[in-house]
Amino acid sequence: MIEPLAELRTDRLALRASDPAWAGAAADYYARNREAHARWNPPQAETMFTVDGQRERLANAAAGAAAGTLAGWWLFAHQAPGHAIGQIHLSQIARGPFCNAMLGYSIDAAHEGRGLMREALEAVLADAFARLALHRVQANVRPDNTRSLALLQRLGFEQEGLARAYLFIDGAWRDHLLTALRAPGWPLDRAPGG
């Protein structure tokens, strides 16, 4: 069993592991960005925008981290430690011959374009390939989300395919580009856990 980590730090950010203690900050984050993120996310239940709903989600995420199936991070700027400005999660962590996770992320609309998500993702991906010992991390993105696709490309993700009518978002079934990043230096003949 891999021990969960409480925090990752970068030059400008503290990435804190999912914890019910962040319920107020998480609810505020989602409420602030409800309109800005609606174009890119599936429809959300009203509980997504409440402290009680976030407390439950974060408790489930913390349990997933303890079980090794999830790693969730909340982004806090060093100068505003109680104000969440983004989130990153590695979900569906699989072991064995797949050794893979699905990546999801979002940042506060007021903080876009400042390189903060790239900074945070670099830390999370380094942790995913080192401490979590993953072979691959996948990210699926709508083709019209050019900013997100450019970010993934800068991080080294490669496009692997197109999933037609993949998710119901913003009133219709939307195609998604399938991208992935493999652990740097992992030889093709190295087995998982090896």
In tens, the pLDDT along 90-115 reads 999 999 999 999 999 999 999 999 99
Tokens of 166: 């993949």
Mean pLDDT of 16-40: 95
**Does residue 1 lie in a domain region?**
no
pLDDT in tens, 10-25: 999 999 999 999 999 9
Residue 92 phi/psi, 5-degree rounding, is: 50, 40
pLDDT band, residue 193 (cuts 50/70/90): confident
Tally of domains within the chain = 1
Residue 133 domain flag: yes
The CA-atom distances, in angstroms, between 62 and each of 13, 57, 73, 184 are: 20, 9, 10, 28
Per-residue pLDDT band for 194 (boundaries 50, 70, 90) equals low
Q: How many Å apart are CA 106 and CA 88, to the nearest integer?
A: 7
Nearest to 164 by CA among 155, 173, 156: 173
pLDDT of amino acid 2: 83
CATH of the domain at 13: 3.40.630.30
Question: Is the residue at 167 inside a domain?
Answer: no
pTM equals 0.95
The neighbour count for residue 86, using CB atoms within 10 Å, is 23
